[in-house]
Structure 1
Amino acid sequence: MVVSLDIKDCDMPRNLDLTALRSFLTVADVGGVTKAAGQLHLTQSAVSMQLKRLEESMGMELLDRSARQIGLTPEGELLLSYARRLLALNDEAWGRLSSDSYEGSITFGVPHDILHPHVPNVLRRFAAEYPKVKLNLISSFTASLLKQFNAGEIDVIMTTELEGSAKAEQLAQHPLVWVGAQGGRAWKQRPLRLASAQACAFRPISAEALDNAGISWEMAVTTENTETVEASLSADLAVEARLATRVPMDMEEIAHDNALPDLPVFDVNLYVCPERQSNLAAHLAEMIRAAYR
């Protein structure tokens, strides 16, 4: 007796393409195909083809391409949580079973005002590729990080500086701007009230700019706690000089129409210590560079 089996009627298991999932996850994290391609060391067309293949295999749209920045459809948001878990498990298995995987620890320092948007993705990628390595993160002001780096206490640091030393590698440039509460009026007061942490590198820069412009000012908040500064700005009690890339949702860059002086552009720099665990430091540094490309 011959039994005819219609394969279309069988409930056969289907496998997700992990390579395509990794591209999907990276695009969702960075908000664009171009940036994702840089992080994955692939061409833009290769990433686009992987995304298309993933959508076709699942028979649904996962990305919302109608806006300027790529977003996720409801189906894409659901898949994203599964993608994180699948890839994390894949990377953990690969790392634990790989005979040449690195072990040890590495210390990475970065100022709090440039933690986002890139550093979380860098940390996630490093942890996935080097699961046996303990990564210690230090978030502090640039002056403190440079002191620890020069003392040989930190392997890799990022900084915000007007000018870096010969050891510095420039990753990006961001202008310094005046920031205050949304719709606030504190910037119109004289003397101008400033809020800034004592160790912040922008504090003397903003004060000098006001002095040169002949604008009287006073320090409204003296603290080492950045949360205290944020509260003062949100309450429209003071203004602060900040990087244009770090303006919280409840604040805004002040459109002062030349009532306040222009501020300089700061470099985002990378320093890598060649003496301490050079392989791990080099790999972490390359991930940081890829995130900024």
Structure 2
Amino acid sequence: MLRNLDMTALRSFVTVAEMGGVTRAAGVLNLTQSAVSMQLKRLEESLDLSLLDRSARTIGLTPAGEQLLGYARKILSVNDEALSRLTATEYEGEIKLGVPHDIIYPWVPQALRRFAADFPRMQVKLVSAPTRRLLNMLGRGEIDLILTTEERSGPGGQVLVELPLLWIGAIGGSAWRRKPLPIAFCSNCIFRSGVLQALNTHDVHWEMAVESELDNAVEAAVSADLGVHVALEGCLPRHTEVIHHGGALPPLPSQKINMYRLKQDDAVSAALAEIVRQTYVSPPPLRAVAMG
């Protein structure tokens, strides 16, 4: 049967070991000497071990006490860190994270779960907007941390990952075989100008078959095989797949997912940024979906 160590007694034990005696430890702990002695006795009885060597003028540790001291320090450190993180008022409030719609999945939910566990008193406001709008919001000081999709990183940006940009269409669809090529794009999509330029450079005739200000409307049209679109590897919308066109469509440049922070000296945004960075180091799930 598992038993639990008495945290109060452990703290008294560590303090006695560090102060070299009960009297000094009692002063540090703001307890009476008898209270500290009782806690030490209770700890020894619970373990059925002698932890303190009382044969000399100053109290020393037995071999068992020396072994426990290392564990006790670790236990108290974790306890104090947890209490500080869960109750500290400086970790209360709201933090705003901006992410383009098409890269929310699969990494961002993982990062938000970890952050919520570490900072349960902080509320995360997730803002979904195109890269250009997020950069403008950051410049105006309206958001704390943003992720972007860009061919290169701007001033102050940190590259999290570089991914190929892929042609996508409906599962089993044939829109990519039509001439002119039907394209589906949001009017504010950051990939749009580069994709159209690639098509023009390779003399691929195209038409804007679907245009909308809403990402999910474009995704619905693509999944219905009304046109083709592009997505970063690992970030495909549901009901779509990579088009294996055998060179019929032009190659596309890879894109970087970058991270920008408003305040470099803010501890909470720094913690969220590190969690996001660590999440992007991990491989994404085999089938990642962007959901409208």
Sort the TM-score into its range (normalised by shorter chain).
0.5 to 0.7
TM-score by length of 1: 0.65
Deviates more, 1:258-267 or 1:126-135: 126-135
Q: 1:25-54: CA deviations, max 9, x gaps?
A: xxxxxxxxxxxxxxxxxxxxxxxxxxxxxx
Does the C-alpha gap of structure 1 residues 95 and 141 become closer, same or farther in structure 2, counting only changes over 3 Å?
farther
Distance in 2, Cα, partners of 1:152 & 1:99: 25
TM-score by length of 2: 0.66
Q: Is the 8 A contact 1:185 1:236 kept in 2?
A: yes
- Alignment RMSD, CA only? 2.1
Q: CA deviation at 1:98?
A: 3.3
Q: CA deviation at 1:153?
A: 0.7
Q: 1:158-209: CA deviations, max 9, x gaps?
A: 0000112121100001111110012211101111110011111111111111
Q: SS state of the match for residue 262, structure 1?
A: coil
Structure 1 ranges of 4+ moved more than 3 A: 12-15, 93-101
- Partner residue, 1:285: 273
1:68-107 maps to which residues of 2 (within 5 A)? 94=83, 98-99=87-88, 102-107=91-96
- Partner residue, 2:71: none
Q: SS state of the match for residue 157, structure 1?
A: strand
- Partner residue, 1:172: 161
Alignment pair present for 1:129 and 2:135: no
Q: Is the 8 A contact 1:107 1:156 kept in 2?
A: yes
Identical residues among aligned pairs (%): 44
Q: CA deviation at 1:99?
A: 4.0
Equivalenced residues, count: 205
1:109-258 maps to which residues of 2 (within 5 A)? 109-258=98-247
Q: SS state of the match for residue 125, structure 1?
A: helix
Q: Is the 8 A contact 1:95 1:131 kept in 2?
A: no
Q: 1:83-124: CA deviations, max 9, x gaps?
A: xxxxxxx9xx85785346611221110111111111112111
Aligned AA (1:141): P
Q: Is the 8 A contact 1:160 1:266 kept in 2?
A: yes
Q: Is the 8 A contact 1:192 1:218 kept in 2?
A: yes
Q: Is the 8 A contact 2:101 2:215 kept in 1?
A: no
Aligned AA (1:201): I
Aligned AA (2:125): N
Distance in 1, Cα, partners of 2:242 & 2:195: 15
Distance in 1, Cα, partners of 2:167 & 2:84: 46
Q: SS state of the match for residue 167, structure 1?
A: coil
Distance in 2, Cα, partners of 1:256 & 1:140: 30
Structure number with larger C-alpha Rg = 2
- Consecutive unaligned residues of structure 1, counting only runs of 5 or more, are 1-11, 16-89
- Consecutive unaligned residues of structure 2, counting only runs of 5 or more, are 5-78, 282-292
Q: Is the 8 A contact 2:85 2:118 kept in 1?
A: no
Q: CA deviation at 1:246?
A: 1.5
Aligned AA (1:235): A
Q: CA deviation at 1:237?
A: 1.0
Deviates more, 1:141-150 or 1:240-249: 240-249
Q: 1:50-94: CA deviations, max 9, x gaps?
A: xxxxxxxxxxxxxxxxxxxxxxxxxxxxxxxxxxxxxxxx9xx85
Q: Is the 8 A contact 1:198 1:223 kept in 2?
A: yes
